[in-house]
Structure 1
């Protein structure tokens, strides 16, 4: 596969083992490629590091508030990228998106109330409900025309369920909801009087050229008034370790409840995170365009390779850099352990709700991805020869 000149940044292999990286320190002194937690191995745009250097040179790091320019950039970004008109006062800053999910559960449900979430799903969805000791209902995620989608028709809600957790694009699975699918989700929410917490952190990482991200809250005023939308530049620009996320809450009463629940428990965003987020949103579009193309090529390489292997199946990935691989035909007890022993450290499907799957992070240099594919092919060939 040809490598374009602009891809040299993404082809670079940067040693992260001594950087305190959670991803890379998991397999210290082991020959295992870390392809699990969702951060990329790509160096951020130079505009972000330049802005951070400039801020560090100032030398004082006291309490900080969100720059007005950052809020303005978010308003502009929602309008230009997603055709969603928001107001600056709707934006609430958070030091991470996961705490936003947990805040929604705590702010919008009482002890005797429940939460409904798709399953399989990103693990913090399930843990936020468990930690708050709320009643759990699940929406089964099934394969529909080669796309992973929550099946609302097969969903049974527990009594007194008041909140839905929505993940768009879907993690795992990489599905981008279409307009009609979001409208069906809104109908379901209205029918059961559910507030909707929409995790839209992967909305900038759309790989399918025929798909467009539509924020749930942008559907109409009814959707907006029952919604909290969670976004962040963290996955998009690989700055998750700095911790800058945003909740967009049009309904003033929901916004008050959310902020009240946050007070005294969730810290403010730090100064460097604000700096990085502003630089990313102001100057990162060209870099993002190149990254998206690189991820698209990685996805295509991986999909072709996986579907040529016995036992494994990978359905189309419309968004994210996370491959949800069906290993249910693999004649082993634990697919995650099997591939880990072969030198590929993926996320176990059990963490998401289906132990027959594995999730592979392909936001890495093509060289590392090709090595991972080779290791998978070798492990399966060895398994086949043993079986025969």
Structure 2
């Protein structure tokens, strides 16, 4: 049965971080990256069955979850992985932080794209590690990593390259030759690579293919930690189930040791949801992608019709990285918030002239938000 992604689900007063921020206002929340869609029925049914059991003790990843994840990586990405490489985590962000703390020393620096999802920057700051910003530049209407500009900043103390593919917030899906260039960069500078691939299932351009960094070669596998999760794909982020794939034994042991006594194990309901999603959520995912493509096309059309705003093509994710530098405002995030649309401020990602819009929502709500944005901009004086 086809899922109804146009169904509005009331999320106010449901302990939703996304909706609570503007709970007693008329502001439409299109900021933090969870979607407003009901999760796949197979996930809901599995959770209901597990809740009915009534006992919620400590859990562990079942053989079924491990097997379906390994099979999925093989079928979708032609990536052969082994069960002993897997480390299950209660979220992907803690994986970023563990990578920095476990696999670098205080004297060693990190390299991260810029602009980027804010936990990349925070992970270095929390661990008191220096971080070099690798600029993400616009090339043929795609946001890509500028490795040449990054090279000129290196001091020689850098030990880790943090990657994000698909890129958040730009929505770029890196091609093989671009990933090979990133691997070559890591090899020349003897870098460990932490690759956030949480949006890998949400490819909006049908001709594109996600390529895990670690699948490029044996060398790529041995110098990398790949972070994945069903959370964005199936809208189960609040349950907290993520997976670090670490082929290198020494790196894996350091990673596991660093989490001991600090990062808890995964909740049993999260394991249940992840297993059900991977086993039976493919049809729902395909339907969601069709709906998201329609939302993406709507956002591109409407945003680029607003004077002062620019939006490049979005290859993946349900996130739009909007250039608002052409507006006669000092703070585009505050401006649109006053107009009734709650976006993510570009300053969180490293560029205050941008805003990020989450279009993982009902189309009618999205249309309303876009109309508010257009109406607000129409009140501004035109820039000379």
- Provide TM-score, normalisation by structure 2: 0.98
- Choose 55-64 or 217-226, whichever is displaced more: 55-64
CA contact (8 A) 2:222 2:247 kept: yes
Written as runs of structure 1 = structure 2, the 5 A alignment for 1:96-107 is 96-107=91-102
Deviations 1:288-316 (A, max 9, x none): 00000100000001101111110000000
Q: 1:298 aligns with which of 295, 299, 304?
A: 295
Aligned equivalents of 1:357, 1:170: Cα separation in 2: 15
CA shift for structure 1 position 180: 0.1
Residue of structure 2 in register with 1:326 after alignment: 323
Deviations 1:326-348 (A, max 9, x none): 00111100000010000000000
CA contact (8 A) 2:204 2:315 kept: yes
Aligned equivalents of 1:172, 1:370: Cα separation in 2: 21
CA shift for structure 1 position 59: 1.0
CA shift for structure 1 position 211: 1.3
CA shift for structure 1 position 384: 4.0
Q: Do residues 32 (structure 1) and 4 (structure 2) align?
A: no
Q: 2:344 aligns with which of 347, 351, 358?
A: 347
CA shift for structure 1 position 233: 0.3
Residue of structure 1 in register with 2:70 after alignment: 75
Residue of structure 1 in register with 2:10 after alignment: 15
Secondary structure of 2:233's aligned partner:
helix
Secondary structure of 1:241's aligned partner:
helix
CA shift for structure 1 position 209: 1.5
CA contact (8 A) 1:116 1:157 kept: no
Residue of structure 2 in register with 1:177 after alignment: 174
CA shift for structure 1 position 259: 0.5
* Aligned length, in residue pairs: 382
Aligned equivalents of 1:18, 1:373: Cα separation in 2: 24
- Choose 92-101 or 207-216, whichever is displaced more: 207-216
Residue of structure 2 in register with 1:229 after alignment: 226
Aligned equivalents of 1:73, 1:210: Cα separation in 2: 25
Secondary structure of 2:380's aligned partner:
helix
Q: Do residues 118 (structure 1) and 113 (structure 2) align?
A: yes
Aligned equivalents of 2:47, 2:343: Cα separation in 1: 32
Aligned equivalents of 2:56, 2:26: Cα separation in 1: 40
Residue of structure 2 in register with 1:276 after alignment: 273
Written as runs of structure 1 = structure 2, the 5 A alignment for 1:73-222 is 73-155=68-150, 156-222=153-219
CA shift for structure 1 position 381: 1.0
CA shift for structure 1 position 159: 3.4
Q: Do residues 47 (structure 1) and 42 (structure 2) align?
A: yes
Residue of structure 1 in register with 2:311 after alignment: 314
* Unmatched runs of 5 consecutive residues or more in structure 1: none
Deviations 1:219-261 (A, max 9, x none): 0101000000000000000001000000001111111111111
CA contact (8 A) 1:136 1:158 kept: no
- Provide TM-score, normalisation by structure 1: 0.97
CA shift for structure 1 position 57: 1.1
Secondary structure of 1:149's aligned partner:
strand
Q: 1:357 aligns with which of 348, 351, 354?
A: 354
Q: Do residues 372 (structure 1) and 369 (structure 2) align?
A: yes
CA RMSD of aligned residues (A): 1.2
CA contact (8 A) 1:135 1:158 kept: no
CA shift for structure 1 position 6: 3.5
CA shift for structure 1 position 382: 1.4
CA shift for structure 1 position 193: 0.3
Aligned equivalents of 1:210, 1:140: Cα separation in 2: 27
Moved segments of 4+, more than 3 Å? none
CA contact (8 A) 1:243 1:269 kept: yes
CA contact (8 A) 1:137 1:158 kept: no
CA contact (8 A) 2:328 2:381 kept: no
Aligned equivalents of 1:271, 1:118: Cα separation in 2: 34
Aligned equivalents of 2:116, 2:328: Cα separation in 1: 24
* Unmatched runs of 5 consecutive residues or more in structure 2: none
